[in-house]
Amino acid sequence: MSLLKVLRLRLLVPLAALIAASALYLHDPLPLQVLRNVLFDQYQRWHPRPYRDTAVRIVDLDDRSLTEVGQWPWPRPLIARLVERLHLAGATVIAFDVMFAEPDRTSPRAMLNLWKLPPETANELAKLPDHDTVMAAALRGKQVVLGFAAQNSGAGGPLPIKNFGTIVKGVAPDPYLPAFTGTIIPLPQFGNAAAGSGAMTFVPDSDGVVRRVPLLIRVGDTLLPSLAAEALRVSQNEKNYHIRTTEQAGGIEQVRIGRHPIPTTANGEAWVHFSKREPIRTIPAWQVLSGQMAPGALQGKIVLIGTSAQGLQDLRFSPLGGIIPGVEVHAQLLEQVLTGAYLNRPAWAVSVEALVILAGGILICAIALQASAMVSALLTLAVLAALNWAAWNAFVEYHLLFDSLTASIGLALMFIATSILRHVATERSQRWVREAFSRYVSPNLVKHLVDNPSSLQLGGKRQACSFVFTDLAGFTSLMEKSDAGEVVALLNVYLEEMIKIAFRHEGTLDRIVGDSVAIMFSAPVEQVDHASRALACAIDMHRFASAYAKSLQARNIRFGQTRIGVHCGEVVVGNFGGSTIFDYRALGDPVNTASRLESLNQHIGTLVCVSGAIQAQCPDVPMRPVGKVVLKGKSIPLPVFEPIEASTAGDVGNRDTDYEAAFALMTAMDATALAAFERLHQQRPGDGLVALHLNRLRHEERGDLLIMESK
């Protein structure tokens, strides 16, 4: 991949991840909403609203009250007595979170339809007051708010009586309010007698948890208040609801009820910051009816009448966990309003979060692309920690709800995407570097260093290795007589193939010096068959070099023959040099000997010289003896052999028996050795080794010992 493509990829992938994260956030799918709600719930569990005693009380139709007084629904005169007692106790508003949609079935007139009584008894019973009339009378003239139910099943139906007005600042709020198709309202005589009516209906989230309460709803084209909102309005003798809508909020921004401006969502819902359950908030209904209520307990209070009895099924899931009575949700909202401790998710929160995702994404992508893996991970964690701390601090100190979880997930995904990109790019770069490095250093050495980085230290170890040294005859002369560019091109082709052959036999390139190549076997990875590998490599090199030189000579290019020396022995292999640069190589006499064997070829008329140590480990390869050679600067003779395939004698088969017979005579210092070599020379005038020994014998040199006076 080109550098330009890599740069494009490094820019496009983070940009695509950034756009995807932003689009996902703005689309706001249900899973993200659930995660956001889980975060806000956890905030409330860690830091619930501290309870402050306010002018809000719940009269609870609890299980004991049903046991003491009787099963629900209670007769309406009993409800009337409850209203009277609450009024006398000083309640400023009495709000019912229960329905009175049907006539009292225990009224005297209702009983006449059920019982068959004598006419006299029936007439007396008919004179008794109607229970619903008794309750309506009790409601009249008092600050009582009745609850009604909003529904989306069915259509139409009468609406509750409106005792209020609405004043709107901005565009009409109707499109933003929770919409319903109909209502179930109290009996008309109750509605006429009451000071107001409010919706008991909640709009829970998809998980069933009630987190917000609509202050206003819409039924058809009519705006109606919630029970808590109407209780607050009636408690202040306020006539109107003041609604403010703005474009920035995308709908409703605030609903003011009397002296209380309440921040809302765009749909006119108020977030509820729940406190833990407090005994002082609730008074059982049986205590009120029996007169056992503490004196002054309800003086100046907004009283909500509801039920916690499980059988009446008005229980809701709370953000704090567990279930609470529906009436407590209304009560907690009123407490929040009266204390001014509003929980708010402002309209600009979405813009702030989107900006955080955008700016944080750019920062994290830049970090992930530039810094090291550990540094980028730590910096990303620091950014995420700072983001979540800021959101938590905003909740605790300012009661603001910011969705740091969605932003954190988006930023984390961007970090992962960018890190994967960088990992892929780094891997590609490392592979490129490895491949490029392998052009300078043997691939098996590169692989060994990558797999064993601990080996990159100064020093070495003793190890048996084999060595192949090559040299191109007449190259200097060729350079002097030919165009340098053309010669270099020919040399590059030659060296490339020679090195390929070495790598094919898994040899390690020790060095290239001009036209000379040095190959090492059994290092860095030990090879049990290093001697046979070295010999096979040398023979393949000879085949190629001879064919290559022949093809060039056919084109009148005087490309010389290649001389090769092969030897093995124990050396010290490792990294040498200093702390600045390492030179991986082998040091020892076998290295020098292999080099001397390569040079020996030019003195004895051969192209490949193999030491006796190599020949001993490769008995199946046909060779013919050169003799015991004392190399320049050495004192111990070294047995030297020439592979039959590399000999200049032509096709002599798997063994050169004629040469071996003549050589045996020479070794035994037999006088007939000269005649034997004379015959061989006549048969093979191009055999350099035969010519060597014939010349020695003619100069009266006997035996197979050759002492070299030059390298």
- Annotate 37-88 with three-state secondary structure: HHHHHHHHHHCCCCCCCCCEEEEECCHHHHHHHCCCCCCHHHHHHHHHHHHH
Mean pLDDT of the chain: 86
Residue 500 structural domain: 453-647
Which among 436, 467, 493 is the end of a domain?
Answer: 436
More confident residue, 411 or 336: 336
Q: What angle do CA 522, 525, 531 make, to 5 degrees?
A: 15
Domains identified in the chain, total number: 4
| Domain presence at residue 443 | no
Interval 28-42 mean pLDDT: 86
Q: Which residues 6+ apart lie within 8 Å of 648 measured at CB?
A: 605, 606, 607, 686, 687, 688, 689
| Domain presence at residue 130 | no
| Domain presence at residue 124 | no
More confident residue, 104 or 214: 214
Interval 113-126 mean pLDDT: 63
Name the band, by pLDDT with cuts 50, 70 and 90, for residue 654: confident
Number of Cβ within 10 Å of residue 444's Cβ equals 18
Which among 291, 320, 339 is the end of a domain?
Answer: 339
Of 42-46, 119-123, 373-377, the poorest mean pLDDT is in: 119-123
3-state class (DSSP) for residue 262: strand
Q: Do 656 and 676 contact (CB within 8 A), yes or no? A: no
Q: Do 327 and 314 contact (CB within 8 A), yes or no? A: yes
What whole-number percentage of the chain has pLDDT above 70?
Answer: 87
| Domain presence at residue 250 | yes
Predicted confidence (pLDDT) per residue in 670-688, tens digit: 989 999 999 999 999 989 9
Separation CA 138–CA 236 (nearest Å) = 21
β-bridge partners, 252:
245
Name the band, by pLDDT with cuts 50, 70 and 90, for residue 581: low
Predicted confidence (pLDDT) per residue in 268-281, tens digit: 999 999 999 899 99
List own/partner pairs for 546-554 with CB under 8 A and 24 or more apart: 546/607, 548/493, 548/494, 548/497, 552/490
What per-residue confidence (pLDDT) applies to 116?
67
Do 173 and 320 fall within a single domain?
yes
3-state class (DSSP) for residue 100: coil
Name the band, by pLDDT with cuts 50, 70 and 90, for residue 528: very high
Do 315 and 178 fall within a single domain?
yes
What per-residue confidence (pLDDT) applies to 7?
45
Do 317 and 172 fall within a single domain?
yes
| Domain presence at residue 121 | no
Q: Rg of the Cα trace of the chain?
A: 51
Backbone angles phi, psi at 7, to 5 degrees: -65, -40
Report how far apart the first and last C-alpha atoms of the chain are (Å, whole number).
49
Which among 320, 339, 358 is the end of a domain?
Answer: 339
- The CA dihedral of 140, 141, 144, 145, to the nearest 10 degrees, is 80
* Residue that is written with structure tokens 């093809």 in the block: 551
Interval 165-186 mean pLDDT: 93
Do 411 and 457 fall within a single domain?
no
Characterize the bridge pairing of strands 302-306 and 56-60.
Answer: parallel
Do 329 and 421 fall within a single domain?
no
Separation CA 235–CA 225 (nearest Å) = 14
